[in-house]
Amino acid sequence: MIKAKGFTLVEILVVIAIVAIMGTILAAIFVNTLKGSNKSQILAVIKQNGQAVLENMDKTIREADKVVCLDKNTLVVVKNGCYTRYKFMTPSETQNGQIQEDYPQPDPSTPCVQNSPAPTPSDIKTFTDNVCTDPMVNPSVLTDTNPQSGVSVNNGSFTPEPQPGFKNSVTVTFTLGPGVGAPAAITGQIDPVEFTTSIGLR
């Protein structure tokens, strides 16, 4: 009699089980690698955005003549008659929290030119009384607004911080996290990063 060559059912099941186990292990390694890569990319974007914002604010505020208006979410400074305003905007379900910047002026129809003739005192008083609460006009956003790959400002504040030798001093504090549309598997692994600096005006 000639014996037929082949695999038994038990052998086939053992091979299938081994292949399934190896496939599961390889898939887990691949997914973890992707998560680690995405986490590193998001953290790099957060640090890059935070440092860029701090450098922008530090230069503008430090060189300003004085602080015109300061509340928790809004800061306005002036240099040679030109105003710069910063505002923290809270996130929504579809939009990242933002740090915005614009250049309000007592006469909106006239762009600011440093050392240009100053507006009348009455115009300036009305302007400074309202500049903290007036809506921003065509603001530029200092942070990455992409909901998936950008960053979201979770909270931010401007607080007065008196320092000897400075006529004004402001502490800027904010935290950045992943964009509101980033995958939950990634955002759950990343804690918000806090950025803070104290800036004095001489």
Residue 124: inside a domain: yes
CA-to-CA separations, 167 to 69, 76, 125, in angstroms, rounded: 14, 15, 20
Q: What's the whole-model pTM score?
A: 0.77
135 is in which domain, residue-wise? Answer: 9-201
pLDDT of residue 165: 77
Residue 176: inside a domain: yes
The list of the chain residues with pLDDT below 70 reads 1-7, 29-38, 111, 113-123
Q: Is-contact 167 130, C-beta < 8 A? A: no
Residue 3: inside a domain: no
Residue 81: inside a domain: yes
How far is it, in rounded angstroms, from Cα 54 to Cα 171?
11
CA dihedral angle for residue 85, residue 88, residue 91, residue 97, rounded to 10 degrees: 80
pLDDT of residue 34: 52
pLDDT of residue 197: 92
* Structural domains of the chain, count: 1
Residue 4: inside a domain: no
How far is it, in rounded angstroms, from Cα 59 to Cα 20?
59
pLDDT of residue 137: 84
Exposure string over 47-82, b if 16+ CB within 10 A, otherwise e: eebbeebbeebeebbeebeebbbeeeebbbbbbebb
Q: Is-contact 91 99, C-beta < 8 A? A: no
Residue 1: inside a domain: no
